[in-house]
């Protein structure tokens, strides 16, 4: 039981980790009682929610939220990385910082604020991963509740369309 406790705590504290096999199976066995699910990402795992256990912050408790600029920046990343709307957005395709900037400019997003959002706020929240010039969707998207993904799928026309120079 202690292995599971430590493994689950590690996953919360680090967002994604590679676990030893016995820790992984311990974590998997305990996770459902908490409404959680261990999900594979890359060569490690992260902690998601079980079906039907996904949080529904309906105002009964406060949550952390992103402000407009990071959200719009994220929408640009999502547009460029989530090409096949029928599939799960994660991992999706990679794109470039230039492409995201181009799309953000088309939406009239201020360069200075956009940069902070793309390089600090979004990676910090696990929503995107930046390595060099490459931008990809982050680990948090791997466990994004299905209800949210479905909602965006239905309203995909309202996501920004990629511009010519964001191919």
Partner 1 sequence: MVAPIARDSGVLIDDEGLIEVARQVCDAFADPDAIGGLTRAEIQARVDGAADPMTFDARFNVFVRLELLRPTLGKKHQQRYTLNPAGMVGLLVFERISERGGIDELLTLLDRTKAALAAGAADPVVVSEALASMRGLLSVYADELARLTRTAPLGELIAERRYHDHGGLFGEVKSLNDLVSERMPQLDSDAYRLVVEAQRYIDAVQTMVERVLDEGGEARDFSVLDPEDYRAAALTAHPDDLAEVFSTIVFDPPAPWVDAAAILDALDAQRPKKRVRERPPEPPGEPPGDPIAELERRAAAERRQRALAAEQHLQGEAARELTATIRGLQWPAAARLLADLLALDTDADQPYAAKIGEAVFIDPEGPITYSSPLTLTADRPELSRDEVSRPEEAKRD
Partner 2 sequence: MTITSLDPGQETDVRAALSALELARDPVPGETFKGLSDPSLRAEVASRLQASGRVLLTADGGYFSGYDDSIADRLVEKGAGVLEPTDRAVLTLVLLLTVAVPRAKGRISGSDWTDAQPTSTDELALNRHLSKRAIRSSVRRLRAAGILPPGHGAPIAPGPQFLRLTQRRGARLWEELVLLCKPDGTMADVIRRRRRRAAQVGGER
Which residue from 29, 50, 124, 146 is in contact with partner 1, where contact means CB under 8 A? 124
147 binds partner 2 per the rule CB under 8 A: no
Which residue from 71, 125, 149, 159 is in contact with partner 2, where contact means CB under 8 A? 125
35 binds partner 1 per the rule CB under 8 A: no
Residue 106's CB: how many other CB atoms inside 10 A? 15
Spell out, one character per residue from 19 to 58, where the chain touches partner 2: x when CB under 8 A holds, - when not.
Answer: -----------xx-xxxx------------x---xxx-x-
**Segment near partner 2 (CB under 8 A), from 7-15, 77-85, 135-143, 157-165?**
7-15
Q: Exposed, middle or buried by CB within 10 Å (0-12, 13-18, 19+), for 115?
A: middle
Residue 145's CB: how many other CB atoms inside 10 A? 15
Contacts for 91 with CB less than 8 Å, ≥ 6 apart: 136, 137, 142
């Amino acid at each position: 039981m202690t292995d599971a406790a430590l493994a689950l705590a590690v996953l919360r504290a680090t967002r994604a980790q590679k676990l030893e096999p016995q820790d992984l199976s311990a974590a998997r066995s305990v996770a459902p009682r908490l409404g959680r699910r261990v999900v594979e990402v890359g060569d490690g795992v992260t902690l998601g929610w079980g079906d039907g256990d996904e949080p529904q912050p309906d105002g009964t408790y406060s949550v952390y939220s992103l402000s407009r600029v990071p959200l719009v920046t994220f929408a640009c990343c999502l547009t460029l990385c989530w090409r096949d709307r029928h599939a799960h957005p994660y991992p999706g395709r990679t794109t470039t910082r230039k492409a995201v900037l181009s799309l953000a400019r088309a939406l009239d997003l201020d360069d200075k604020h956009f940069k902070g959002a793309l390089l600090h706020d979004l990676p910090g929240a696990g929503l995107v991963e930046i390595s060099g010039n490459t931008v990809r969707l982050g680990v948090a998207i791997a466990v994004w509740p299905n209800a949210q993904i479905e909602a965006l799928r239905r309203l995909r026309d309202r996501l920004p369309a990629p511009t010519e120079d964001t191919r």
